[in-house]
Every structure is written in C-alpha cells, then in structure tokens.
Amino acid sequence: MLTQTILVTGGAGFIGSNFVLQWLRREDGTVVNLDKLTYAGNPGNLETVTGDERYRFVQGDICDRKLVSEVLQREHPRAIVHFAAESHVDRSIHGPDDFVRTNVNGTFALLEVARAYWTGLGEVERAGFRFLHISTDEVYGSLGPTDTAFSEAMAYAPNSPYAASKAGSDHLVRAYQHTYGLPTLTTNCSNNYGPHQFPEKLIPLVILHGMQGKPIPVYGDGQNVRDWLYVEDHCDAIRTVLARGRVGETYNIGGRNELRNMEVVETICGILDELRAGDPVMPHSQLITMVTDRPGHDRRYAMDAGKIERELGWRPQETFATGIRKTVEWYLAHEGWIAQVTSGNYRRWMAKQYAM
C-alpha cells in the first residue's frame, strides 16, 4: 500500500527547503528529505519543522543506490520530487566533476532505484506513482534580444557545464518514461529568488555586500537578462504539476519578469537605501563594481509559461517588485542565518571567484 508520503531529494537547499515548508503548510502526508548536505545544504533552513511528526530527514547521497532503495522500501512514498543537484554555474566552470557526478550520475542512480521500486508496486499503486524532476531554463541555451521566449518544443542547447549536466539528466528522465513507462514529469524553471538562497548567487550576494559595504560585482556589461520568479511561486507550480500534470510531459515555469542584471542590482540598492539609510556607504549603488565577465555567459533567458498556465491554471502570485522587497527584508532579519552560511568554505569560494 502506498502512503501519502513524498520523498524529496535536496530538500535542505534553497528551493527544496522552501518546497518542504510549503508542502507541510498546504498538503497532507509526510515529507522525507534525502540530502547529502553539501556546502549548499543547510538543515537550519528546516529548523522550524524538525520536531514535526510529518517531517523526516535522511542524510545521504542520491548516488548511494543501497541507501535510496532502503528509504523507498521503508517509506513507501507515492512520489519522488528530485531537487538534489549542484546548482551554481560559476562553480561548474571552476570544477565540472561534481556536476556530472550528482546531476547526471546521481539522477541516473535515482531513476534506476525508482524504476525497481515502481516495478514492484501493485497495479493501482504503479499508476499513481510520480517521479518529478526539477530542471532549469538553462538547458535551452541563450536568446538574442528579440528572440521568442523558450517553449517546451525548443531544442536543447546548453552552454555551461552546469546546463549540460542538467540537460543530460532531463534526457535520462525522458528516456525512462519512454522506454520503461516510469511515470515521470519534468519542470524547467527560470531564475528563482527568495529566502534561503545561498549568497553565491546574484541576488543574495548583492544584498549581503550592500549590507556589509563590500563591492557588488557585476559581470561584463551588466546587460544580461534573466527571468525572475519568487521561490514560493515556483514551489506552488511544482505542487500543481505533481497533482495534475500529464505523465511524460515537461512544463516550463517562469515569472514573465525579464530584467537586466544592472536593473536587478539597482533595485536592490534602492531598497537598501530606504531600509538601511544609516549604512556607511550611501547610496548603496556606489558599491557597484564592474568585473570580468563569466566565460560563455548566456545573454538572455526568457520562459514561455503558457502551457502550465493554460493546462493547469497556475499563475505566479508575486511581481518582482513585491518579491524582491520581501527577499531583502528576509535577509535583513536573518543575520544569524547569514553568519552561519558564510563561514570558512564560503570565504574560500569568494576569494577564488572574485580574485580579479
């Protein structure tokens, strides 16, 4: 008998932790979180639910088939929601090995174990089971200024080792549905922002450096475009796809919030000017520092979220203006969280990446 339990991988990271918290607020059933706790995984993101009887944490690697198999046999989940990944493009440029290991080999291992588990279920349970793979818009490559937004029908053209490893995992998921009938779904989402994002990514990095009076690094000419979505809206879309998505389909998710990096940085500086008028460097935009560009830097991403909107009725609730203000306020109110995640390893990464 399948339980109402779901297994989440990578639930201690940025999006995964927001998803676990939202799930426990909005859905029934238990969440089992399998996370290796790499530098990006932080159990503190889930401290408010550690005593909750509907939440269980297992520290482990998705590449560890024996462990994952034991978790599936013990918990009998009705779904796997697969977030676990190496996620930072710049780190994939410095060291792609971990990206291929976790994103490609790890997803492959997870699919193999999930297939064995699913094959052993009864007929009704097999029909109800879902494997939901969380992926990215970066698999589609880069757009020119007037190109139409990425649709699900577009060919993959990944440009960074990160994007290539995610594309590889997407192809494996597709093949497991096509060949073995494993009931998979894939979501490809644009850039997320919100609470718990590790401050190696643009938005939390700008907030932190603004708060601390440090240079705010902007790559290249600052005109690269990203399509920003508040993390709670992404989590809501994932729950929607899990509940009503058609097996074997992929769904693009995006906020229709295309912004140049410089616009994002200036918006955050403006909010900081308002909320931290006493900071030593005012206005905060004086901290903006143009730095060497990211190698192979994709120029523009834009998502056509028409399919999920039409077929499943999902719509984002936050505009960029409302979401970014909430996000800045969250970081300002969580200096303890910041101190915890910006320890030794983080400082070594910053020194390596921004040595120029």
List the interface residues with ligand NAD, window 45-84 (CB under 6 A): 61-63, 83-84
For position 233 contacting ligand DAU by CB under 6 A, the verdict is: no
Applying CB under 6 A, which of residues 138, 170, 258, 318 lies at the interface with ligand DAU? 138
Among candidate residues 75, 60, 169, 176, the one with its CA nearest the CA of residue 116? 176
Instruction: Print the binding letters for residues 168-207 with ligand NAD: x by CB under 6 A, - otherwise.
Output: ---------------------x-xx-----x---------
Nearest residue to 306 via CA among 111, 158, 151: 151
Query: CA 95 to CA 89: how far, in whole Å?
Result: 10
Q: What is the DSSP letter of 50?
A: T
DSSP state of 314: -
Identify residue 208 by its one-letter amino acid code. L
**Does residue 35 bind ligand NAD (CB under 6 A)?**
yes
Query: Is 138 annotated as catalytic?
Result: yes
CB contact at 8 A, 227 and 305: no
**Rounded to whole angstroms, how far apart are CA atoms 79 and 128?**
8
Applying CB under 6 A, which of residues 35, 137, 170, 236 lies at the interface with ligand DAU? 137
Asked if 318 is an active-site residue, the reply is no
Q: Does 205 bind ligand DAU (CB under 6 A)?
A: yes
State which residue, 70 or 263, has the beta carbon closest to ligand DAU: 263
* Interactions with ligand NAD, residue window 114-143 (CB under 6 A): 134, 136
136 is a site residue for ligand DAU (CB under 6 A): yes
Phi-psi region of 67 (alpha: psi -120 to 50; beta: other; left: phi over 0): alpha
Report the distance separating Cα 327 and Cα 207, nearest Å. 9
Question: In whole angstroms, what is the distance from residue 280 CA to residue 262 CA?
Answer: 22
Q: Can residue 301 be called a binding residue for ligand DAU (CB under 6 A)?
A: yes
Q: Which does 198 bind (CB under 5 to 8 A by kind): ligand DAU, ligand NAD, none?
A: ligand NAD
- In angstroms, the first-to-last Cα distance of the chain is 57
Which residues contribute to the site for ligand NAD (CB under 6 A)? 9-10, 12-16, 35-38, 40-41, 61-63, 83-85, 87, 102, 106, 134, 136, 166, 189, 191-192, 198
Which chain residues interact with ligand DAU by CB under 6 A?
87-89, 136-138, 190-191, 201-202, 205, 217-219, 224, 226, 261, 294, 301
